[in-house]
Structure 1
Amino acid sequence: MNAEQLLERPDTASPEAGRVALKFFFNVMALWGCTPAQQRILLGGIGNTTYHKYKKLPQVRLPHDTLERISYLMGIHKALRLLFSSSPDKAYEWVRKANVAPPFNGQSALEYMLHGRVIDLADTRRYLDGVRG
C-alpha cells in the first residue's frame, strides 16, 4: 500500500485506532459525568470485564459496533463544541438537560442515548447536525 492509499482511508480496525477511540471515549465520558454503568451501555452493553480491560486503553481491535458507537459520540461531541464554542461547559451540560424537541421528548440527550441502541446515538447526532445547519 502506498502513502496515497494510506491517506485516503485510515485503518480503523487497527489496534492503535482502537486505543485512540477508547481514549476519546473515556475523556468525553469524564466530561459528561457518566457512570461506569452508563458508559457500558453507550459502548453497547459490554460486560464489566471488557469495560475494565478497555479502561486500561489497550491496543485492541474494537468490534465494528463499538467503533460505530464511538464515532457517533465523536460527532455529538464535535457538534456540541461548535454550538457552544464560547462556553464549553454548556456543551457538557447540554447532554444532561431535558429537551422537549424530538427525538428526546422531554428526556435529556443522555437519557435518550442510554436506551442503548445505535440508532439513539445516530438520532442525537442528526439532531445536533440539524441545529448546526
Structure 2
Amino acid sequence: MNTSDFSTHKHADLKRMGSAGLKAVLNILEKWGCSAEQSMAILRLPKATFYKYRNDPSQARLDRDQLTRLSYLLNMHQALRIVFENRDNVYGFMNKKNHNPYFHGRTPLEVIESGDFGALYETYKRIDTLRGGLW
C-alpha cells in the first residue's frame, strides 16, 4: 500500500467514524432534551447542515473540532452510564441544576449550549471525574 492509499483509507475511516459518532450523539442530545438550536450550537453546525446531517448522518463532513466535540459528548454519556444505573439519571443529569463551583447553579446543558469549546471541555472534565474509581 502506498502513502496515498493509506491517506485515502484513513480519510474513509474518519468519515465513517464521524458519521457513526454523529448519529449516536444526535440520539444522545435528543434524549438529553436538547432543542435543535442547542444541538446546532453544541456541535457547531449551521442550520441547513444540521438538518441535512440529522436526516442522513452518512453525509457528514466533520472537521477536527466537530469530531472532538463528538468525542467529548460520547465520553460524557459513557461516564454518566457508568455512574448511574437509572436511565432517568443517565439522560436527566444534563438538565439538573448543579451547585458545584464551575456550574454555579446552572445545568450542564446550560453551560454547553453556548457552543463554546472551552465550556464543553470543562463540562466534560467535571462529568468524567464523577466516575472516579468506578473504572
TM-score tier, shorter chain, comes to 0.7 to 0.9
The unaligned stretches of length 5 or more in structure 1 are none
The C-alpha deviation readout for 1:98-118, integer Å capped at 9, x for no partner, is 101021111000001112111
The Cα offsets for residues 7-51 of structure 1, whole Å up to 9 and x where unpaired, read as xxx76863211210111111101211111001001102x211111
1:131 counterpart residue number? 130
Equivalenced residues, count: 124
Q: Give the percent of matched residue pairs that are identical in Structure 1 and Structure 2.
A: 34
Task: Point out 4+ residue stretches in structure 1 off by more than 3 angstroms.
Answer: 10-13
Q: Indicate the RMSD between aligned Cα atoms, in angstroms.
A: 2.0
Seen in structure 2, the aligned counterparts of structure 1 residues 93 and 12 have a Cα distance that, compared at 3 Å, is farther
Matched residues in 1 for 2:87 and 2:119: separation? 23
* Corresponding position of 1:54: 53
Range moving further from structure 2, 53-62 or 114-123: 53-62
TM-score of the superposed pair, with normalisation by structure 2: 0.83
Q: 1:129 to 1:12 in 2, by over 3 A?
A: farther
Scaled by the length of structure 1, the TM-score of the pair is 0.84
Structure 2 runs not aligned, ≥5 long = none
Opposite residue 100 of structure 1, the aligned amino acid is H
> What's the secondary structure of 1:129's corresponding residue?
helix
- One-letter amino acid matched to 2:114: H
